Amino acid sequence: MQIFQVDAFTSELFKGNPAAVMVLDQWLDDALMQHIAMENNLSETAFVVQRADKSGWDIRWFTPSHEVSFCGHATLASAHILHTEYQAERPIQFFGKVGALQVDLHEPHDRSPSYLLDFPVIAQTPMDALPKEIAASFAATPLALFKTYENYFVVLENEDAVRTFEPDLGALAKLGTDGVIITAQGDDVDFVSRYFVPGSGIDEDPVTGSIHTTLVPYWAQKLGKNTLAAHQASARGGNLSCRLVGDRVHIVGNATTYLRGNLCLEA
């Protein structure tokens, strides 16, 4: 079985967010897929299987510790591999736990093409206060708080507050598999963000497509515009061009193949 590793949301190697991708003829045992993800030790490993009627591809995502409901950068990585290695028909239609996800080629490039991701908006619910587990992690009162089914969002005063934030990973881990996103209006882009989910074995995710399906609607309303430039201010960093289109979020990002290999499993 072949395995690939892709740097997503970047046109350069060693930047963006790495994800592993395996294109399977049929699903492996759940425990085996979890072991493979654990062995890869990346924030996400994606497994894809073509549907019997050829209408698209079922996709599942695993962190080193558990299966998740949605991962944007590993979906981008999977589309990149299906396009460059398997010459899959475009647009590529994925079906995951959050519904239909479509990826099409945006700009061709021999090494690092860009793709248009069409994802559903993930709705948020306003909150009055931070969870007690992490309240002490924030010296200043956040400007706004809201939550999705799996993440807490904290709006800070400015970009510098996001960039200089020092997370208490032990406290954040008490939230279990729920993550924490900090965000603010940007200086040179419309908004910036960072994402922490140590309870899933990911201290800080480099570039996260899925969180932008909530961030984009929020900042579109705040800034009064539907086309937004975003930057995830992790050490590796990543830029995302985003657009709110009704109840969908369009994200443009590059992808670059880092590794092609063969998985060796004992019988």
DSSP 3-state helix, strand, coil percentages of the chain (rounded to 5)? 20, 40, 40
- Of 76, 118, 111, 91, the C-alpha closest to 249 is 118
| CA–CA separation, 110 and 120 (whole Å) | 29
Which residues neighbour 81 within 8 Å (Cβ) at sequence distance 6 or greater?
Answer: 4, 6, 21, 23, 257
Q: Which residues, other chains included, contact 1 with Cβ-Cβ below 8 Å and sequence gap of 6+?
A: 22, 24, 262, 263, 265
| Residues designated as active site | 44
What tokens does 208 get?
Answer: 């996260």
Question: Is the four-CA dihedral 170, 172, 178, 181 of positive or negative sign?
Answer: negative
- Asked if 89 and 24 touch (Cβ cutoff 8 Å), the reply is no
Locate all alpha helices (DSSP H) within the chain, ordered by sequence: 30-40, 72-84, 159-163, 169-173, 212-223
ω into 91 cis (within 30 of 0): yes
Contact (Cβ atoms closer than 8 angstroms) between residue 255 and residue 19: no
